[in-house]
Amino acid sequence: MLWYSNGTDNKLQLNYIRGRPFGGTAVLCNRNLACISSPVVTNNPRCCATKLSFKHCNDLIVVSVYMPCLTGCLEHKSIAGCLQGIIDGKHGCNFVFGGDFNLNKCQITSNVYHSLTKFSYKNNIEWLDPVVDKVQYTFHADNIGHFSLIDHMLVSECLVHDHQSVVIHVDDSNWSDHYAISCLVHTDNTQIVQSSVPSKKAVKLMWDKADLDLYRSVLQWQLSRITIPTDALLCDHCMCSEQHELLLDKHYSDIVNCFATSSEQSVLSQRVGFQKFWWTEELDDLKAATMEATSVWRCAGCLRSGPVNENRLQCKYRYNLAIKEAAADADRCFNDDLYDKLCVKDDQAFWKSWRKKFCSHSLKW
C-alpha cells in the first residue's frame, strides 16, 4: 500500500519557478499491514505520513520528509511546524521520521541544525547515526567527488536500543545519487497480521490495455454481493464489542477480494519479464560478475578509488551497455523482419508479426 504526496503541482502553481519541480514524498507499506495502516493528513507536500494501529502497544506514525536545499527559507519553518503538528495531534504514539533532510550533522552552526536538535530534545526523539565501520555517507556525486550524510532517521527514544543503528544500503542497482537507509525499530508488537489477498508471483496486470467499462461493471456486480454490517458501521460506543470488530475486518477483506477478483476477470495479465525476450545467458553472466564485484568492493570498505573500485565500475558499465545493446538489437531485428516481409509483399506475415508485438489480442486471459 502506498501513501504519497505530490510536490510538483504545488511548485508549478507558483508565480516563478527556480530549478526543477520537486518535493514529493511517499510511504510504502507492506500489504500485510494494510488493515492496520491509515494516512495522516499533513497538508504539506514535503511530508507524508501513515499511522500503524496496533492492539498491544502504542501506535506508530511513520513520516517521510524531504527538506529543501536552501537553508533559512520559510519552507524550513513550514516543515518544522508540520512535524511538530503531527506529534501534537498524535499523543501517545511513537514516531519514525526519515528522509532527505539536506543537512549534515556536522553543520552545528546551521540554524536548521539547531532547530532540528531542539525539536528532537523537546519531543524525546533520537537523531540516529550510521552503524560504525560502515559507509558514512548517503549522497554521492562520483563525477565531482562529493560525498555527504544528508539522509537521516529520527525516531522515538523507546524504539531503538542504540543510536548508531542506521544501515546505509550501498547498491549499484540503485541509480539514484542517494543510497537507501533503514533502521530496525522495536514496537513490542505481538500481533501477527495476515493478508486476505492471495499472492501472485511473477504476474502483472496490464491496465493500459484494460477494458475499463468491463472492469467497472464486474466490480459493481462483485460489490453488490457484499453483505454490509450496518450495526458495526453505525456503532458509536467507546467499548465496541469484539463481534463488531470481526465484522468490520471481514467487510474490509470482502472489499479487497472484490477488487482482486474483478481485475482477474476483466484485465489482461502477463508474466513479468515477458517483454524482455531478448535476455540472454551472457547478460546473466555479466549481472553475476557485477554483483560479485560489488560484493568484493563492499568487503574492502567501499573505497572510491583503487583497482577494486575500478573493477566494480567497469563491470557495471559493461553490464548496462550490454543491456542497452541487447534491447536495441532486438528492436533492430524486428524492424528488419517487418521490412523484409513488406518488400516481398507478404501482408499476412507482416500483420501477424505486427499484432504479435503491439496488439493485446495475442495475449490470453
Residue-level pLDDT at 88 = 86
Which of the given ranges, 194-208, 231-245, 298-312, 343-357, has the highest pLDDT on average?
A: 298-312
Q: Are strands 129-130 and 164-169 parallel, antiparallel or unpaired?
A: parallel
Residue-level pLDDT at 207 = 83
How many whole angstroms separate alpha carbon 40 and alpha carbon 38?
7
Give pLDDT tens digits for 259-302: 988 888 888 877 655 667 677 888 888 888 888 888 888 877 88
Statement: the pTM of the whole predicted model exceeds 0.85: no
Give pLDDT tens digits for 82-102: 898 899 888 889 999 999 998
Give the model's confidence band at 11: pLDDT under 50 very low, under 70 low, under 90 confident, else very high: low
Instruction: Decide if pLDDT at 211 tops 90.
Output: no
CA 122 → CA 47, 117, 156, distances in Å?
Answer: 20, 9, 11
Instruction: Decide if pLDDT at 360 tops 50.
Output: no
- In terms of pLDDT, which residue wins out, 152 or 3? 152
Contacts of residue 354, Cβ cutoff 8 Å, sequence gap at least 6: 338
Instruction: Decide if pLDDT at 198 tops 50.
Output: no
- Give the mean model confidence (pLDDT) for residues 4-24: 59
Q: Are 97 and 154 in contact (CB under 8 A)?
A: yes
Spatial CA neighbour of 60 closest among 80, 105, 15, 90: 90
What whole-number percentage of the chain has pLDDT above 70? 84
Q: Give the total residue count for the chain.
A: 365
Exposure pattern of 199-237 as b/e (b: 16+ CB <10 Å)? eeeeeebeeeebeeeebeebbeebeeeeeebeebeeeee
The single residue listed with the C-alpha cell 456486480 is: 221
What whole-number percentage of the chain has pLDDT above 90? 12
Q: Using only the alpha carbons of the chain, give its radius of gyration.
A: 26
Instruction: Decide if pLDDT at 194 tops 50.
Output: no
CA 83 → CA 26, 43, 77, 102, distances in Å?
Answer: 15, 11, 10, 16
Domains annotated for the chain, with CATH where assigned, are 2-183 (3.60.10.10), 203-267 (no CATH), 281-362 (no CATH)
Lowest pLDDT segment from 22-26, 78-82, 170-174 = 22-26
Spatial CA neighbour of 127 closest among 94, 92, 165: 165
Instruction: Decide if pLDDT at 256 tops 70.
Output: yes
Q: Are 308 and 297 in contact (CB under 8 A)?
A: yes
How many whole angstroms separate alpha carbon 250 and alpha carbon 304?
54
Residue-level pLDDT at 153 = 93
Lowest pLDDT segment from 16-25, 27-36, 64-73, 104-113 = 16-25
Residue-level pLDDT at 96 = 95
Rounded to 5 degrees, what are φ and ψ at 157? -60, -30
Indicate the SS3 state at residue 26.
strand
Pure H helices in 240-280: 242-266
- Helix (H), strand (E) at residue 64: strand 60-66
Residue-level pLDDT at 161 = 87
Pure H helices in 267-346: 281-299, 307-343
- Helix (H), strand (E) at residue 151: strand 151-156
